[in-house]
Chain A
Amino acid sequence: MENFAYHRPAKVADAVKAMKKAKDGKFLSGGHTLIPALKQGLANPTDLIDLSGLNKGGVKVGAKSVTVSAGTAHADVAADKGLKKAIPGVAILAGGIGDPHVRHRGTIGGSVANNDPAADYPSACLALGATIHTSERKIPAEKFFTGMFSTALKSSEVITAVEFPIPKKSGYAKFPNPASLYAMVGVFVAQMGDGSVRVAVTGAGPGVFRVPEMEAALAKNFSAKSLEGLSVKSKGLNSDMHASAEYRAHLIGVMARRAVTAAK
């Protein structure tokens, strides 16, 4: 690990200012991705701007949406009673991230900013049509996740919150990589108030993506039965030592049916 300057601003505007001043700065949230990268020398920032001093809003349940502030740990999202009732799929998802250590340190802002292709949250964001609030603007999820580990964020832009619209029903099912516990395949299913359905898949491809055929079938009839016989092509899916693209394609079908069955 190289030396770096450490900042802990109390205001979002100061975090942005500190980043603009830094030669090669990095925001630090829960540190569960960034600290290992520093230790291995994969990231060598000149400045670390710790966001843990920013005002923590936690989870706010509104009439039409739930807003989770960026610094909220996964365990706090999973345990929030209001969110559990409004969007059960998101609570289940947060409660299934990694292990208890990860859930008590890792944050939604860090997870979304990192856009790991095997992270859980991007699927909920895309399926629910979430809005990512930042220090400068509001970015719809469709425009936010731009590919493997990349997002629409500018280098000095801070995520302040993630806003999820409240659906009629939501469900999440994940097949964890047995070693890392990240999603080998995770499927988030959301049925919105107008009856439309969105299905988002994480872990299987280079980035989170939707499955229009499943969405159309579920919009007609929201049941696991509607998905029988529907399969996703393995072409373009990830293939690694843990699972081939064909196995991931198979798991998308299984997880989608489980997510629909679990949807509340």
Chain B
Amino acid sequence: MTEGCVYDSDSGQLLTGSYMDYCMPRAADVPSFKLGFTCTPCPTNPLGMKGCGEAGAIASPAAVMNAVTDALGVRDVPMPASPHVVWKAMQPMKKAAE
């Protein structure tokens, strides 16, 4: 919804080079969390440990973007779905309604 890297198309310079331009979500931008644990220890080592990373992060952007496209009734919305991007996606519909 907020995070996106923007590069200058001529120079390749990263434009979102600081948090004044790259919108890292703050506490006010995220819902409160409910934590759950699923424990299936690995049988092949004594500590039962497994490597794992960002499992939830794979599905959530797709779920959010599907919700956005569904709400707008369009096929595609580029990420991040910032207010500007959502407004832009709505313009053809507004024209069609007029």
A264 on the B face (CB < 8 A): no
Q: Which of B6, B82, B88 contacts A178 (CB 8 A)?
A: B82
The contact of B22 among A99, A179, A243, A247, by CB within 8 Å, is A179
Cβ-based interface call for B34 (8 A):
no
In the complex formed, the residue of A with least CB distance to B20 is A180
Pick the contact of B84 from A179, A180, A247 — CB < 8 Å?
A: A247
Asked whether any CB of chain B lies closer than 8 Å to the CB of A5, the reply is: no
Whether B19 pairs with A242 at a CB distance below 8 angstroms is: no
Q: Is A241 an interface residue (CB 8 A)?
A: yes
Q: CA separation between A180 and B88, bound complex, in Å?
A: 21
A244 at the interface (CB under 8 A from B): yes
A-side contacts of B23, CB under 8 Å? 178-179
Given A241-B6, A241-B15, A250-B87, also A180-B82 (CB < 8 A): no
Residue on B with the closest CB to A178?
B23
Residues 64-88 of B at the A interface (beta carbon under 8 Å): 82-84, 87-88
- Nearest CB in chain B: distance from A239 CB, A: 11
- Pick from A99, A179, A241, A243: contact of B2, CB under 8 Å: A179
- Checking A175, A179, A244, A247 against B20 with a beta-carbon cut-off of 8 angstroms, the contacting residue is A179
Chain B 17-45 interface residues, beta-carbon cutoff 8 Å to A: 19-24, 26, 29
> Which of A175, A179, A242 gathers most chain B CB within 10 Å?
A179
Closest CB of chain B to A36's CB: distance in Å?
Answer: 9
Nearest opposing residue in chain B for A247, CB measure = B84
What residues of B have a CB within 8 angstroms of the CB of A247 in the complex?
A: 84, 87-88
Chain B proximity mask over A111-149: 1 for CB below 8 Å, otherwise 0: 000000000000000000000000000000000000000
Contacts of B82 in A (CB 8 A): 178, 242
User: Which residues of B have CB within 8 Å of A241?
Assistant: 6, 15-16, 21
What CA separation (Å) do A180 and B2 show in the bound complex? 12
Given A178-B82, A179-B24: 17 more A-B contacts, CB < 8 Å: A99-B26, A178-B29, A179-B16, A179-B19, A179-B20, A179-B21, A179-B22, A179-B23, A180-B21, A241-B6, A242-B21, A242-B84, A243-B84, A244-B88, A247-B84, A247-B87, A247-B88
Q: 7 A-B contacts, Cβ less than 8 Å apart?
A: A179-B2, A179-B23, A179-B24, A180-B21, A241-B15, A243-B84, A247-B87
Q: Which residues of A approach B to under 8 Å, CB–CB?
A: 99, 175, 178-180, 241-244, 247, 250
